[in-house]
Structure 1
Amino acid sequence: MSDSGRWNPYVAGGLSGLVMVGSVALSNAYFGASTTFVRMAGMIEKAFAPEHVAGLAYFTKEAPIVDWQWMFVVGILLGAFVAAMLSGTYRVQAVPDMWRERFGTSAGLRGVAAFVGGFLALFGARLAGGCPSGHGLSGVAQLAGSGLVSLVCFFVGGLIVARLLYGGRR
């Protein structure tokens, strides 16, 4: 880590690559999490209406269970928390500074925007048959041309949305 508490991107990228190698070696699976939230919804629904979930065509081939993708998402959450704690940058903040400067202090507006953005990301991941980590990171690791195209499109899309939301501010 540098003096600012941020990780060197080359070190972080190298460590991510080692995590992917470990993932393939231990679970025979590449990064990806596009079905995690659908399965989690199925697990919750199964607690209240098991006969309904059993009759859904999607869950006859993809059972709503805790699997490696679910653990991958939990690992991302825990890893981000540990990294923030170790770097000294962790803080609870309902409205990030950049958002506050551009849109004001409303936590409700921030929550609605985050929900809509999350919905669009999940919809796009389901529509594309995979998420950015699955198509982009895992695809590039497998030297798939489609993975490289996906990764470039995710970055360009992120740059465009950031420019639209924050107007080029730092």
Structure 2
Amino acid sequence: MEYILQPWPWYVSGPCIAIVMFLLLYFGRTFGMSSNLRTMCAMGGAGKRVAFFNYDWKSHKWNLIVVLGAIVGGFIAHFVLSDSTPMDLSEATIKDLTALGFKDAGQSLLPPELFSWDAVLSIKGLSILIIGGFLVGFGTRYAGGCTSGHAITGLSSLQLPSLIAVIGFFLGGLIMIHLIFPILF
């Protein structure tokens, strides 16, 4: 019997996320990737130049476990839970992706047209990374947190600002993929 590697099903990963969130809330902690970046910047001395990073980062260094978990989890997801089976995409999606310039639509989760070193290190790729990074940083600061913080921590603790932020994230994603992405590619 051949074993096919698959991501964890929702009924395993969902309760795992719920348990982690319960434990964080129980111990008075919050979850979010942007707070980890803030902690790393404060550790590096950014608080000497920018007041936002001038805080007691030592009381938040537990948060860096999330960064380690994201790195280890990404490694496990790629090397243990992934297989090379092509994705089951509809013909309409393949046609749309081909029209946007993707040669082997559905053959990889990370198409080389976007994720190869040649694509990333091009003028267009670097411009998208720099402008996108600035916009994500600005949006995260303006919204008071990132998508993971608002969507997981904020919604699980029934915070209205997080609901509004998550709706904004989804609307921004829809605008990007349907209006801006076709112009860029």
- TM-score surpassing 0.5? yes
2:75 aligned residue (81, 98, 117): 81
What CA RMSD, in Å, does the superposition of the two structures yield over aligned residues?
A: 3.4
Give the letter aligned to residue 82 of structure 1: I
1:108 aligned residue (121, 141, 147): 121
Inter-CA distance 119–14: structure 2 relative to 1 (3 Å threshold): farther
**Counterpart position of 2:90:** none
Deviation of the 1:40 alpha carbon: 1.8
Question: Normalized against structure 1, the TM-score is what?
Answer: 0.67
- List gaps (5 residues or longer) in structure 2: 85-109
**Counterpart position of 1:49:** none
Contact kept, 8 Å, 1:137 with 1:151, in 2: the verdict is no
Question: Normalized against structure 2, the TM-score is what?
Answer: 0.63
Runs of 4+ in 1 over 4 A off after TM superposition: none
2:34 alignment partner, SS class: coil
Structure 1 segment 141-160 matched on structure 2, within 5 A: 141-160=156-175
**Counterpart position of 2:13:** 12
1:34 alignment partner, SS class: helix
Q: Percent identity?
A: 29
Contact kept, 8 Å, 1:136 with 1:148, in 2: the verdict is yes
- List gaps (5 residues or longer) in structure 1: 47-51, 91-95
Of the two, which has the highest radius of gyration?
Answer: 2
Inter-CA distance 11–117: structure 2 relative to 1 (3 Å threshold): farther
Cα deviation code 1:8-37 (max 9, x no counterpart): 345433322222123334x42121232332
Give the letter aligned to residue 79 of structure 1: G
Cα distance between partner residues in 2 of 1:136 and 1:126:
15
Asked whether 1:63 is paired with 2:76, we answer no
Cα distance between partner residues in 2 of 1:122 and 1:20:
24
Inter-CA distance 8–153: structure 2 relative to 1 (3 Å threshold): farther
**Counterpart position of 2:39:** 39
